[in-house]
Structure 1
Amino acid sequence: MIKESRPLSMAEVVKLVGDSDKSEAIKKFIGGFDILDFEKVKKLGEELEALDIIKLKDRDIMKIVDFVPIDAGELNKVIVEVSLDADEVNKILEVTKKYK
């Protein structure tokens, strides 16, 4: 039975998968991406949530955390379903640039 459903960052997945053969394949796949360590992911997620941008849902924040966009073009590619105004984009990029 599923008790909770929420999006996870790639760093969280690596931390949660355990040590089975299947988890090693998952870790190897995720290792091909340039991801932040778990503590930075947590802090970045908290900073993005603190911006209180109503349009950003948890899944959007996790996408931003996974890819850490540094310009408006990258941000728009990461969260294509959300239409952000220039001020919102700038607020997000101010936060993400600290982590790249």
Structure 2
Amino acid sequence: MVVDEKRPISMAEVVDLVGDSEKSESIKSFIKNFEVIPLERAMKIKEGLEALDLIRLKDYHIVKIIDFMPGDATELNKVVNDASFEQEEVDKILDVIKNN
């Protein structure tokens, strides 16, 4: 198998991509241990976060945000602890999560 592209994806996207093989059942079984939002909502949140066009908000941050769904600034800072956001940016990120 050759890896053509390496990019972070949310657990909602994984569930959609793995299909119905025997191997996929073990992946799906593992993911059931977590609360996974529906793919449609995950994609709306992803699009909303990308539309903010924040320089410090990277693809892997967006995936973490979708997987953990932080509800306040403290939770968001724990999820994206390697990035520092202004309060206005934090508010925008949380608004995208709440409104999608």
TM-score by length of 2: 0.92
What runs of 5+ residues in structure 2 fail to find an aligned partner?
Answer: none
| Divergent runs of 4+, >4 A | none
Q: Percent identity?
A: 56
Q: Aligned pair count?
A: 99
Q: What is the Cα-based RMSD across aligned positions, in Å?
A: 1.1
Question: Pairwise mapping of residues 5-84 of structure 1 onto structure 2 (< 5 A)?
Answer: 5-84=6-85
Distance 2:29 2:74 in 1: 28
Residue matched to 1:92: 93
Distance, in Å, in 1 between the alignment partners of 2:81 and 2:38 is 25
1-structure distance, mates of 2:11, 2:40: 12
